[in-house]
Amino acid sequence: MLDKLKDFSSRFFVTGEPMIYGADVAILLTLAGIIFVLTYLKKWKWLWREWLTTVDHKKIGIMYMLSSLLMLFRGGVDALLMRIQLAFPQWHFLDSNHYNEIFTTHGTIMILFMAMPLMFAFFNIVVPLQIGARDVAYPFLNAVSFWLFFFGAMLFNLSFVIGGSPDAGWLSYPPLSGMQFSPGPGQDFYIWGIQISGIGSLASGINFIMTILKMRAPGMKLMHMPLFTWSVLASCIIIIFAFPVLTVTLALLFIDRFFDGHLFTMTGGGNPMMYINLIWMWGHPEVYIVVLPAFGIFSEIVATFSQKKIFGYKSMVFSMMIISVLSYFTWVHHFFTMGAGANVNVFFAITTMAIGIPTGVKVFNWLFTMFRGRIQMTQPMLWTIAFIPCFVVGGATGVMLSAAPADYQYHNSYFLVAHFHQVLIGGVVFGFFAGLYYWWPKMFGFKLNDRLGKWAFWTWNIGFYVCFMPQYALGFMGMTRRIYTYDFDMGWGPLNVISTVGAFFMGIGFIFQAWQILHGIKYGERDVTGDPWNGRTLEWSIPSPPPHYNFAVIPTVTGQDAWWTIKEERKKKKAKETAVFSPIHMPKNSGIPFIMSVFWFIAGFGLTFHWVWMAIFGLTGVGACLLARSFQYNSDYYIPVDEIRHTEDSVGRVG
Amino acid sequence: MHIGKLIILSIFITIFLAGCDSRYLILNPQGAVAQKEYHLIIFSIFLCAIVVIPVLGLLVYIVLRYRDKPGNKAPYRPDWDDSKRLEFIWWGIPIIIIGILGFATAKTTYDLVDPPKKDVKPLTIEVTSLDWKWLFQYPDQNIATVNYVEIPKDVPVQFVLTSDAPMNSFWVPQLGGQLYTMPGMAMGLWLQADRKGEYFGSGANFTGEGFAHMNFKVKSTSTKEFNQWVKQVKETAPALTKADYNSLAKQGLSLEKSYSTIPKGLFQEIVIKNGGQYYSQHHHMKNEDMKTMNVASDEQTHTQHEHQEGGK
C-alpha cells in the first residue's frame, strides 16, 4: 500500500528539480499567508460578498487585471529563464525537457492568460462607462466568464507542480502532442486549461457585442461611439467566430488522446495538417483580437493628450472593420512551408500584405491627430508615442515575412520570434500599459507616480530593443526557435548575450511598475474631479472610482466625444441643470458563477488525469449549478432614490 | 536617455554592418534558390523602407513641434479632423506598394516550383527526419548517409522529404528556404549549390527533447569529387539493413554515418507506414518529379496492410 502511494505520488507531483521544490514551498507559503491574513483580519465574508460573488463589471474588470498581471509575472519569469539558458553556447542551466516546458507555458500564458484577460479587464472597466450604461448586457454571464478564465488559468498553472507541464509548443502540433510522443498529463492540462477559459472568452465576446449594440445611452449612434468601443466591437466579432474553432480543435485533439482517435494521425486516415490549419484559423484572428483593442486605446489616448479630435474617425472605424474581416483570410501564412502549392501561398501572401494597408492608415491617422494639436507628455502618451515606431518596424518585418518565398527563409527562425514579439509587445503590451496608466485613476481614484513611471518606461523600451533587435540578426544567421542550446562555431553567442541583457531590462521595468502600484496605493495623488486628463468620453463624466451604479442619471448623447461636448455646453451656459433621480435597476450578486467554475476545475482536473469518476462528478456539479440558476427568479433589485442621493452627495455631486 | 539612444544606435550599426559577415547565412546565398529568395528579401526591405523612414521622420517632427509647452507658436486646431486629400494619399501609397510587392512575391513563388536549371539532369535525395537525426538516401546511387549530405555543385537537387517521427522542417539557409517533413507525405524541395563549400543545415520545426541537436552538414563538391565520394562510400561503408534502420528510428542522437547500400523501397515503406496510402488516395500527387513516389501501387499498399494486421 505504502509503496503504491509512493509510486503514485512520484508520478503525480513534479519532482527532481530544486527550482520546482522552491516553487512548491513558495506556493504553500503564499497560500498559508493569504489564508492567515484573511482569517486574522476577518475578511472572509468581505471577500465572498464583495468579490467572489460580484456581478459588477468594474470589480470583475479589476479581478481580470490583477490575475493577468500575476500571469505576466509568471510568463516573464519563464522568459528570463529561457534567456539565461540561451545566453551562452552550450550552457547548462536548464535541460532540454525543462526548457521545452518553459517555452510552451511562456507562449500559452502570455497569449491566453495574460493578453486576453488584460484585454477583458479593459472591456469590463471601460465599455459600459464609455457608452453610458450601468452594467454589461448579461452581468451574471460576465461573472461566469471571469471565473471560467480564472480556474482555467489555475488548472494550467497547476501543471507546474503536479503532473508536469505541457512541452509541445504553445500550439501543440500533433503528432508531437499526441499520446505517442507526449504521454504525460501535460498536454491534457493544456487542453483543459484552455478549453475552460475559452468558454469564458466566447461568452465575453457575445456579452460585449450585446452590450455595445443594446446598452448605449440615448442618442449615441454607432458612428458616435468612442473608438475604443468600436475596437471592442471589432474584436468581439472576431472572438465569436474564432473561439468556437479553438474549442472544436482542442476537443478533437482530446478525442485523439483519450479515445485513441486518429483525427490528426495519418495512420488512421486522419491528417495532422488539418490540426495546423484549424488551430491557426483561430490563432491568427486571435492576434487581431488582442491588438484591435490596443488600437482603440491608442486612439483614445492620442486624442485626449493632443487635446484635439481624433483624425479621420470614419477611416479608423472602416479600417478596424476591414482588419476584422481580413484577419480570417491570412492563417496559411503561418505555414507557407507546409508545401500547400504556389497558388495557395500567393493568395495568402497577398491577403496578409493587404492587412498592412488598413493598419498603416491607422498609424497615419494617429500621427495627424497629433499634428496641429498640443501634445501632453503624460505616462499614457509616452507609451503611445513609443508604440508607433515599434509597431511600424514590427509591421514592416511582418510585410517582409508575408512574402512567401522569403518566409521559407524566415520561418521558425529568430527573425520570426523577433517579429511577433515586436508587434505583440510593441502593440499589445505597450497598448495595454498605456491603457492601464490612462484608466488607472478612473478604476481606483488615484494617479500613479510619474517619476517611477518614467523609469519603468525607459527600462522597458531600452530593454525591448536590446532584447529583440539582435534576434532579427540571429534569424539571418540561421538560428531556429525552440532550441535549448547551440554550438560555439555558429557565432550566435554574442548577440544572444545582448538579447538576454535586454530581457532583464524589461524585467526591471516590470519591477518599477509593481513598485509604482504599491507606491500609488500609499501616496498616490487622489483624483477628486473624476476627470483628471480633461477627457472627451463619458467615463470621465462620473466620479473616480465610479459609484456602484455608474451613472446617477443616464446622459443623453448628441455626437462624438460626448463628455467634451457636455463640458463645452456647460462653459457656455454656466448654470448647472439639476438632476432628477429615479430608482436604479441593478442585478443581484450570485455565488453560482464561482461555484460552477470550481466544478469545471474539478472536471478539468479529472479529465486531465483521465479519472472518469472525477470528471463525471465535476460535470454533474456544473449541471446542478446551471439548474439552480434557472430556478432563481429573484435576481435583481432597485436602488432607492435616497441611497443614490446619499452616494452622490458623498462624492460631492449634489443632485 | 542619451545613453539609451546610443546603445540602440550601436546595436543597429552592429547588426547592419555585420550583415556583410559570412555568418549571416541568409544574406550570403550560395545557390540559385537562396539567391532568388535573397533578392526578394532585399526588395521587400527596400519597399518597406519607403514607408517606414518617412513615418519615423514625421513622428519625430510632429512630436517635437506640437508639444504642449508655453510659447509654442505652432498652429493649434483642436477641431481639424478630416482631410480627404491626405486620407487618399495614405490609403493609396500602401496599396501601390503592396501591389508591387505582391507581384514580386507571386513571381518568385512560381519560379521556385521549377528546378533552378532545366538542362542538367537533377539528383534526387530522399530525406527522412527521425527522432532526432536525419537520414539521407540516394536512390540512384543506392547509398545512404546520416546527419550529412554531399551534393555536386551546379546540379539541381530534388530533396524528397518525409518524416518517421513528429513533423520537422528541412532547412539549409545558404542554399534556400525550408519545407516541412511530414509523416505519411513526400514533398519535393529544389535546392542547388553554385560553388564548392560546406553549409549548415538544421531541423527548423520543434520535435521534442533532442530537437536542438538535429543539425547536419551539406557539402558541395565538383561532380568528379562527388562521384569519387559515392564510390568510396560504396567500397568502405557498411550496408544499411532494415534492422539498422529500426535502431536509427528509435529516439536518440546519432553521429554522421554512411551506408553502401539501402534496402529496396525503404523510403516508400516509411511513407506508407505513416499513412501514405490514405494520403495518396485523397491527393493526386501532382509533382511529376516525385518519380520515386510511385508508392500507391496496389501491390505495395496491399503488403503494407497485411504487415500491419500481422503486427497486431
Q: Do A354 and B98 touch (CB under 8 A)?
A: yes
Chain B residues with CB-CB distance to A397 below 8 A: 48
pLDDT tens digit string along B206-255?
999 999 999 999 999 999 999 999 999 999 999 999 999 999 999 999 99
Q: Do A337 and B211 touch (CB under 8 A)?
A: no
Mutation target for A interface from B127, B202, B309: give the one with most A CBs within 10 A: B202
Q: Do A393 and B55 touch (CB under 8 A)?
A: no
Hey, which residues 103-132 in chain B have their CB within 8 Å of chain A?
A: 104-106, 108-113
Minimal CA separation from B300 to chain A, in Å? 16
Hey, which residues 12-31 in chain B have their CB within 8 Å of chain A?
A: 12, 15, 18-19, 21, 23-27
How does residue B310 score in pLDDT terms, banded at 50, 70 and 90? Answer: very low
Would you call B87 an interface residue with chain A, using a CB distance cutoff of 8 Å? Answer: yes
- What is residue A7's predicted lDDT score, i.e. its pLDDT? 81
Residue A396 has pLDDT above 80, yes or no: yes
Chain B residues with CB-CB distance to A402 below 8 A: 105
Hey, which residues 195-254 in chain B have their CB within 8 Å of chain A?
A: 200, 202-212, 215
CA distances from A379 to A437, A440, A450, A512 (A): 6, 11, 7, 14
Residue A314 has pLDDT above 50, yes or no: yes
- CA nearest to B175, candidates B201, B149, B206, B150: B201
- CA nearest to A196, candidates A601, A624, A606, A613: A601
Q: Work out the burial of residue A274: count CB atoms within 10 Å of its CB; fewer than 13 is exposed, 13-18 middle, 19 or more buried.
A: middle
Cα distance between the two ends of chain B: 69
Residue B294 has pLDDT above 60, yes or no: no
Q: Cell for B144?
A: 545512404
Q: Do B90 and A475 touch (CB under 8 A)?
A: no
Minimal CA separation from B45 to chain A, in Å? 7
Could you identify the residue written with the cell 451574471? Answer: A140
> Is residue A261 helix, strand or coil?
coil
CA distance B110 to B105: 9
- What is residue B299's predicted lDDT score, i.e. its pLDDT? 39
- What is residue A41's predicted lDDT score, i.e. its pLDDT? 87
How does residue A12 score in pLDDT terms, banded at 50, 70 and 90? Answer: confident
Chain A residues with CB-CB distance to B108 below 8 A: 403-405
Read off the pLDDT of each residue in A431-436 and give the average, rounded to a whole number: 97
- What is residue B288's predicted lDDT score, i.e. its pLDDT? 40
Chain A residues with CB-CB distance to B106 below 8 A: 346, 349-350
- What is residue B289's predicted lDDT score, i.e. its pLDDT? 39
- What is residue B7's predicted lDDT score, i.e. its pLDDT? 62
Would you call B34 an interface residue with chain A, using a CB distance cutoff of 8 Å? Answer: yes
Minimal CA separation from A158 to chain B, in Å? 22
> Is residue A638 helix, strand or coil?
strand
Mutation target for A interface from B91, B111, B218: give the one with most A CBs within 10 A: B91
User: Which residue does chain B place closest to A95, by CA atoms?
Assistant: B209
Residue A377 has pLDDT above 70, yes or no: yes
- What is residue A29's predicted lDDT score, i.e. its pLDDT? 87
Three-state SS string over A298-331 comes to: HHHHHHHHHCCCCCCHHHHHHHHHHHHHHHHHCH
pLDDT tens digit string along A538-564?
999 999 999 999 999 999 999 999 999
pLDDT tens digit string along A262-313?
899 888 788 899 999 999 999 999 999 999 999 999 999 999 999 999 999 9
Report the percent of chain A where pLDDT is more than 70: 99
How does residue A128 score in pLDDT terms, banded at 50, 70 and 90? Answer: very high
Mutation target for A interface from B66, B95, B114: give the one with most A CBs within 10 A: B66
In this structure, are strands B168-172 and B176-181 parallel, antiparallel, or unpaired? antiparallel
Residue A486 has pLDDT above 80, yes or no: yes
- CA nearest to A554, candidates A215, A225, A300, A232: A215
CA distance A250 to A156: 14
Q: Do A308 and B74 touch (CB under 8 A)?
A: no
Beta bridge partners of B218: B149, B199
- What is residue B190's predicted lDDT score, i.e. its pLDDT? 95
- What is residue B220's predicted lDDT score, i.e. its pLDDT? 96
> Is residue A639 helix, strand or coil?
strand
How does residue A516 score in pLDDT terms, banded at 50, 70 and 90? Answer: very high
Chain B residues with CB-CB distance to A374 below 8 A: 66-68, 72, 76
Chain B residues with CB-CB distance to A271 below 8 A: 279
CB A100 within 8 A of CB A78: no
Least confident of A181-190, A263-272, B151-160, B220-229: A263-272
Q: Do A375 and B1 touch (CB under 8 A)?
A: no
User: Between these two residues, A575 and A62, which has the higher pLDDT value?
Assistant: A62
Structure letter (DSSP) for residue A48 = I
> Is residue A94 helix, strand or coil?
coil
Chain B residues with CB-CB distance to A408 below 8 A: 37, 112, 176-179
**Nearest-by-Cβ selection for A399 from B44, B66, B113:** B44
Q: Do A97 and B167 touch (CB under 8 A)?
A: no
- What is residue A138's predicted lDDT score, i.e. its pLDDT? 96
Question: Crossing angle of helices B298-311/B266-273, nearest 10°?
Answer: 60
CA distance A113 to B183: 33
Read off the pLDDT of each residue in B59-76 and give the average, rounded to a whole number: 93
Least confident of A14-28, A382-396, A622-636: A14-28
Q: Cell for A619?
A: 460535470
Read off the pLDDT of each residue in A596-624 and give the average, rounded to a whole number: 96
Q: Do B179 and A408 touch (CB under 8 A)?
A: yes
Read off the pLDDT of each residue in A441-461 and give the average, rounded to a whole number: 95
Mention every residue, 6+ apart, whose C-beta is less than 8 A from residue A222: none
Q: Do A349 and B109 touch (CB under 8 A)?
A: yes
Q: Could you give the count of Cα atoms lying within 13 Å of A346 in the half-sphere of its Cβ?
A: 16
Q: Do B25 and A476 touch (CB under 8 A)?
A: yes
Q: Around Cβ A81, how many Cβ atoms within 10 Å?
A: 18
Least confident of A262-266, A365-369, B28-32: A262-266
Q: Containing H/E element for A637?
A: strand A636-639
Least confident of A238-252, A257-271, B105-119, B282-296: B282-296
Residue B293 has pLDDT above 60, yes or no: no
CB B115 within 8 A of CB B156: yes
User: Which residue does chain A place closest to B280, by CA atoms?
Assistant: A269
- What is residue B308's predicted lDDT score, i.e. its pLDDT? 38
Side by side, the strands of the sheet bearing B197-203 are: B148-152, B215-221, B197-203, B168-172, B176-181
- What is residue B300's predicted lDDT score, i.e. its pLDDT? 41
Mutation target for B interface from A337, A366, A391, A466: give the one with most B CBs within 10 A: A337
Three-state SS string over chain B comes to: CHHHHHHHHHHHHHHHHHCCCCCCHHHCCCCHHHHHHHHHHHHHHHHHHHHHHHHHHHHHHHHHHCECCCCCCCCCCCCCCCCHHHHHHHHHHHHHHHHHHHHHHHHHHHHCCCCCCCCCCCEEEEEEEECCEEEEEECCCCEEEECEEEEECCCCEEEEEEECCCCEEEEECCCEEEEEECECCCEEEEECCCCCEEEEEEECCCCCCCHHHCEEEEEEECHHHHHHHHHHHHHHCCCCCHHHHHHHHCCCCCCCEEECCCCCCHHHHHHHHCCHHHHHHHCCCCCCCCHHHHHHCHHHHHHHHHHHHHHC
Read off the pLDDT of each residue in B5-9 and give the average, rounded to a whole number: 62
| Averaged confidence pLDDT in chain A | 93
Chain A residues with CB-CB distance to B21 below 8 A: 491
Let me know how long chain B is: 312
Would you call B300 an interface residue with chain A, using a CB distance cutoff of 8 Å? Answer: no
- What is residue B303's predicted lDDT score, i.e. its pLDDT? 38
Q: Work out the burial of residue A590: count CB atoms within 10 Å of its CB; fewer than 13 is exposed, 13-18 middle, 19 or more buried.
A: buried
Q: Do B90 and A377 touch (CB under 8 A)?
A: no
Residue A462 backbone zone (phi > 0: left; psi -120 to 50: alpha; other: beta): alpha
Chain A residues with CB-CB distance to B63 below 8 A: 370, 375, 385
**Nearest-by-Cβ selection for B45 from A364, A385, A400:** A400
How does residue A574 score in pLDDT terms, banded at 50, 70 and 90? Answer: low
Cα A259 from chain centroid? Answer: 32
Mention every residue, 6+ apart, whose C-beta is less than 8 A from residue A571: none
- CA nearest to B87, candidates A222, A226, A309, A368: A368
Minimal CA separation from B199 to chain A, in Å? 11
- What is residue B281's predicted lDDT score, i.e. its pLDDT? 53
Q: Do A374 and B207 touch (CB under 8 A)?
A: no
CA distance A602 to A621: 9
Read off the pLDDT of each residue in B51-56 and give the average, rounded to a whole number: 94
Read off the pLDDT of each residue in B76-96 and give the average, rounded to a whole number: 91
How does residue B3 score in pLDDT terms, banded at 50, 70 and 90? Answer: low
Chain A residues with CB-CB distance to B48 below 8 A: 396-397, 399-400
CA distance B252 to B167: 16
**Nearest-by-Cβ selection for B166 from A181, A411, A465:** A181
Report the percent of chain B where pLDDT is more than 70: 82
- What is residue B296's predicted lDDT score, i.e. its pLDDT? 38
**Nearest-by-Cβ selection for A313 from B74, B76, B81:** B81
User: Between these two residues, B61 and B15, which has the higher pLDDT value?
Assistant: B61
User: Which residue does chain A place closest to B161, by CA atoms?
Assistant: A339
Mutation target for B interface from A227, A347, A399: give the one with most B CBs within 10 A: A399
**Nearest-by-Cβ selection for B179 from A315, A337, A483:** A337
* Pairs of residues, one from chain A and one from chain B, whose beta carbons lie less than 8 Å apart: 290
- What is residue A511's predicted lDDT score, i.e. its pLDDT? 96
Residue B33 has pLDDT above 90, yes or no: yes
How does residue A525 score in pLDDT terms, banded at 50, 70 and 90? Answer: confident
Mention every residue, 6+ apart, whose C-beta is less than 8 A from residue A520: A440, A444, A446, A447, A448, A449
- What is residue A579's predicted lDDT score, i.e. its pLDDT? 74
CA distance A188 to A196: 12
Mutation target for B interface from A315, A330, A370, A408: give the one with most B CBs within 10 A: A408
Q: Do B55 and A392 touch (CB under 8 A)?
A: yes
Chain B residues with CB-CB distance to A308 below 8 A: 76-81
Read off the pLDDT of each residue in A191-219 and give the average, rounded to a whole number: 96
